[in-house]
Amino acid sequence: MKKSKIFAAIAASLLLSGLTDLKAQWTNTGTTESTTNNVGIGLTAPTANLHISGTSSQPLLNTTLNGISNDFLRIQNGTANTTTYIPTIWGNNAEGYTGFEVVGSTSSANDISGYPPVININGRRYDGTGSGSPLLNRTLFEVSNYTVPLLTIGATGNTNINGGLTVTNSGIPLVGVTNGTATAYIGVSSAPGALAGPAIANDAVFYSMGGNTIVASQAPGTSIKFATTAPTSNYWSQSRMEINSIGQVGIGMAPCSTSTGLLQVNGQIEATSIKVELVSSTNGVLSFPDYVFAKDYKLKSLGDLEKFISENNHLPGIPSASEVEKDGINVAEMDVKLLEKIEEITLYIIEMKKEINTLQKENTQLKNKSVK
């Protein structure tokens, strides 16, 4: 309905009610009724082109379409409290369509980046004069499901989403986070190579435009992968580190679940300091080999040692070459075993020194007898 027809209906209603003292001057063109004065409903001194004053118990404005009384657009007080007015716009649709829709539009010529937003929801402080000032503390915006808040935006832009955030997009990426210079993305791979190289469909992917990527697979029991871009690729293709479902970490390789190692590295490790705790891989107890110097320590004779080496081709207590090739070595255990052998060698040297001293003494005595 055109504005002039609304004014005509208002004027007719007032006349039928017996209110003949109308201050607004109406012009009848035969098809329209119009006025250049302010029109008031519910008050005698309107201060706007159309000024409506009512009570908190009824809508100030109610619009419907002929024959569709259950669908309406209302302007009313959002509370039954008679001492305050919460301006409320209420749209309702009883046929399953959208209940209320806000549309902002502009011309093609003005669809330009950097122009003001087409739709702007603006909150502010307002004390009755001027244009107001920014809010500092109060919630700026809220979306609720009846009385349950679902989305709130604070005065400083802090946002709270009740129930988490799900972003749906048929393309990729889904979410981009930027500091104005660089952007990182969160997405879901639609197919191998589509978003993150070898990621399979439906993998969760976190990546930057440079290609550095984290992939969390949707398949149960699989790994989280950290990857970088190969020099010739537009997406990540070099897996650098993986964490499997049982917590094993592989650097430069996929972790082997049949191994007991939590950290597996394919390559050289460089460090300024490494501390190894003395814990045995077999029984959990690993003693430092000072026991070799105990008086009750049973040191093999050199003859028994020679026999063992001849039969086994390695030192006692030291794994064979084939065992090392199969199982590798435990650094802490091997260091202890090597120190044990060094201490045993020390005992052999001390014993041999004693024997040499004895032989030298006997040799000196024999020389003295031969001289006499």
pLDDT tens-place string over residues 109-126: 999 999 999 999 999 999
Query: Which domain-ending residue is among 250, 265, 280?
Result: 265
Verify that 304 and 340 share a domain, yes or no: yes
Is the bond into 116 cis (omega within 30 degrees of 0)? no
- How many domains does the chain contain in total? 3
In a domain, 158, yes or no: no
pLDDT value for 10 = 59
Contacts of 158-164 with CB under 8 Å at 24 or more apart are none
pLDDT at 359: 94
Structure letter (DSSP) for residue 125: B
Question: Of residues 25 and 53, which shows the higher confidence score?
Answer: 53
Buried b (16+ CB within 10 A) or exposed e, 129-152: eeeeeeeeeeebeeeeeeeeeeeb
The answer to whether residues 253 and 299 belong to one domain is no
The answer to whether residues 203 and 244 belong to one domain is yes
173 within domain boundaries: no
Mean pLDDT in the chain?
82
Q: Who has greater pLDDT, 80 or 230? A: 80
Residues 115 and 50 in one domain: yes
Task: Say yes or no: 312 and 351 in one domain.
Answer: yes
- Quick one: which of 277, 275, 296 has its CA closest to 288? 277
What was the pLDDT predicted at 283?
60
Residue 161 lies in a domain: no
Indicate if 259 and 347 belong to the same structural domain. Answer: no
**In which domain, by residue range, is 84 found?**
3-135
Looking at the fold, whether 128 and 13 belong to one and the same domain comes out as yes
38 domain-assigned:
yes
User: Is residue 196 scored above 50 in pLDDT?
Assistant: no
Statement to judge: residues 304 and 358 lie in one domain: yes
Q: What share of the chain in percent tops pLDDT 90?
A: 47
Q: Does 99 map to a domain?
A: yes
Can you give the pTM of this predicted structure? 0.52
Residue 228 falls within a domain, yes or no? yes
Task: Write down the pLDDT at residue 198.
Answer: 44
pLDDT for 172 beyond 70: no
- Classify residue 120: in a domain, yes or no: yes
> Does some domain include residue 188?
yes
The tokens for 303 are 């003859």
pLDDT score at 204 = 66
Burial (Cβ within 10 Å: 0-12, 13-18, ≥19) of residue 356: exposed
Last residue of a domain, one of 135, 153, 168: 135
Is the same domain home to 214 and 297? Answer: no
Where does the pLDDT of residue 258 fall: very low under 50, low under 70, confident under 90, or very high at 90 and above? confident
State the average pLDDT over residues 52-76.
Answer: 91
**One domain, residues 95 and 44:** yes
